């Protein structure tokens, strides 16, 4: 188990789709490389830059936009604030000019078709998601760094033996679910309250709350954008977007003027079981169609699973009385702690653990958060998270064409529905009688990940990915 201190904002990151491990992580790695050049005082001496992608980054990197992300990182664009509408024009400009504005300050010769290598038959030992970036200086010397994108936008540099920068002294030290539960019981706190206390080690409480409400705003905007965008997803698979059609049908073609107006109309559109189920699916589809289109999303805990938590949270907000900001904050704090437990005890990387590490973890996070917000005890929160993950164990990651589209987008709808079902089961159960603990299922998930054949771990070498062939674009 990794003993590390994780903040809610380590689990929830604002970024650009379609993948936290294959897009956001490499983007951040390239930024780190540029910062290293700047800090070393050699950026003005760089003549050439080369990028090598290994393992899963090579095999599915084209479909995940890894090459695009690396170029944006080398240009020192910020995935949090970058205008996603400018992404494709900027990439086309680099490709056509064969020049890169390194760090935003130095123009260097750069041909993506040559200077980014997809080494599909090579892997590095530490993690399947590996990349190396090299710079050639005027004097002929080279600077090379190797990075691993370990899931959820987290990046580890090879050879960096320094302690985790985020390792801080927390009021309540939590490394597994049992320790979390014991801390809650001793302190008489809910999970969200305990997390809120720990977050004070990083920043004032008001900053945490404001940051979480910003996360919620991005999630809402993503759903809304997805519900009003028609067309076909990029990448060559020609998947038709469905959220907009569902939204139009469920609202009976009623027009809206804003996000707030839209949410009010959704709330008033009907509350039957079928109608609510349709809305939950629509919310999740909307997010992941945006994610597949290089839109702005929140990793939760990954981009491939970014639709589960927004869908369940909006369901709670609109149909279960969760209107107050305090309830939104409570939901996100609880969800983040469940995600942290999986990050510490297993993995949130599909390249390491298959889709159980993405949709499974996000479903567990949503289930636990919904359970607390609906009045569940810490033990019931753990039970809900356990139930949700238990029924995702062994789920493979086999994206067709390496694209975060099939089966990824629909899986977010399934993960959201399973989360709600798991929450209801936990709330109607006696948690003291549960036979399988959350720690048990986290350990089982990790053992399953280790046993899983590599072709089912985001390589597009097995499963559905081998049934349909497509021609991917060159950029």
pLDDT of residue 468: 87
Q: Are 356 and 395 in contact (CB under 8 A)?
A: yes
pLDDT of residue 3: 66
From CA 106, how far away is CA 99, in angstroms rounded? Answer: 10
By DSSP bridging, strand 46-54 and strand 116-119 are: parallel
Low-confidence ranges of the chain (pLDDT < 70): 1-3, 161-167, 471-475
Superfamily of domain 20-157: D-3-phosphoglycerate dehydrogenase; domain 3 (3.30.1330.90)
Q: Are 307 and 412 in contact (CB under 8 A)?
A: yes
pLDDT of residue 161: 59
One-character DSSP codes across 192-204: HHHHHHHHTTTS-
pLDDT of residue 469: 76
80 beta partners: none
pLDDT of residue 167: 66
Domain ranges of the chain: 20-157, 177-466
Whether pTM > 0.75 for this model: the answer is yes
Q: Is 53 left (phi over 0), alpha (psi -120 to 50) or beta?
A: beta
Q: Are 202 and 339 in contact (CB under 8 A)?
A: no
From CA 222, how far away is CA 208, in angstroms rounded? Answer: 21
pLDDT of residue 157: 95
Residue with tokens 């469920």: 250
């Amino acid at each position: 188990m990794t003993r590390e201190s994780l903040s809610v904002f380590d689990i929830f990151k604002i970024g650009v789709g379609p993948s936290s491990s294959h897009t956001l992580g490499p983007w951040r790695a390239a930024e780190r490389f540029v910062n290293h050049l700047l800090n070393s005082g050699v950026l003005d001496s760089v003549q050439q830059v080369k990028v090598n992608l290994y393992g899963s980054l090579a095999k599915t990197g084209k479909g995940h936009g890894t090459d695009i992300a690396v170029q944006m990182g080398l240009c020192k664009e910020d995935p949090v604030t970058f205008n996603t509408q400018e992404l494709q024009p900027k990439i086309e400009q680099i490709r056509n000019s064969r020049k890169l504005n390194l760090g935003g300050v130095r123009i260097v010769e750069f041909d993506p078709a040559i200077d980014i290598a997809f080494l599909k038959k090579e892997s590095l030992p530490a993690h399947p998601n590996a990349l190396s970036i090299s710079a050639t200086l005027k004097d002929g010397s080279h600077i090379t760094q190797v990075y691993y994108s370990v899931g959820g936008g987290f990046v580890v540099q090879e050879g960096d033996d320094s302690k985790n920068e985020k390792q801080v002294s927390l009021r309540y030290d939590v490394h597994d679910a049992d320790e979390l539960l014991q801390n809650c019981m001793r302190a008489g706190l809910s999970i969200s309250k305990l997390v809120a206390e720990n977050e004070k080690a990083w920043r004032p409480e008001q900053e945490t709350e404001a940051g979480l409400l910003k996360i919620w705003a991005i999630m809402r905007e993503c759903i809304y954008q997805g519900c009003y965008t028609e067309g076909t997803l990029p990448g060559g698979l020609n998947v038709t977007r469905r959220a907009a059609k569902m939204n139009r049908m469920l609202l009976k073609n009623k027009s809206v003027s804003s996000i707030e107006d839209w949410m009010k109309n959704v709330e008033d559109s009907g509350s039957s079981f079928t109608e609510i189920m349709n809305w939950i699916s629509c919310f999740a589809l909307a997010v992941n169609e945006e994610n597949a289109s290089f839109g702005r999303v929140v990793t939760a805990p990954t981009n491939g699973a970014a639709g589960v938590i927004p869908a369940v949270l909006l369901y709670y907000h609109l149909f279960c009385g969760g209107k107050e900001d305090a309830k939104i904050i409570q939901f996100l704090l609880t969800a983040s702690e469940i995600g942290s437990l999986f990050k510490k005890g297993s993995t949130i990387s599909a390249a390491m653990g298959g889709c159980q590490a993405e949709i499974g973890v996000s479903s567990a996070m949503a289930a636990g958060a919904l359970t607390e917000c609906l009045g569940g005890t810490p033990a019931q929160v753990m039970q809900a998270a356990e139930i949700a993950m238990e029924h995702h164990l062994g789920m493979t990651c086999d994206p067709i064409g390496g694209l975060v589209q099939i089966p990824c987008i629909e899986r977010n709808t399934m993960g959201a529905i399973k989360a709600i079902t798991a929450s209801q089961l936990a709330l109607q159960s006696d948690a003291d009688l549960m036979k399988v603990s959350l720690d048990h299922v986290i350990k089982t998930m990790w053992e399953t990940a280790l046993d899983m054949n590599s072709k089912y771990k985001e390589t597009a070498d097995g499963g559905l990915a081998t049934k349909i062939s497509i021609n991917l674009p060159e950029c």
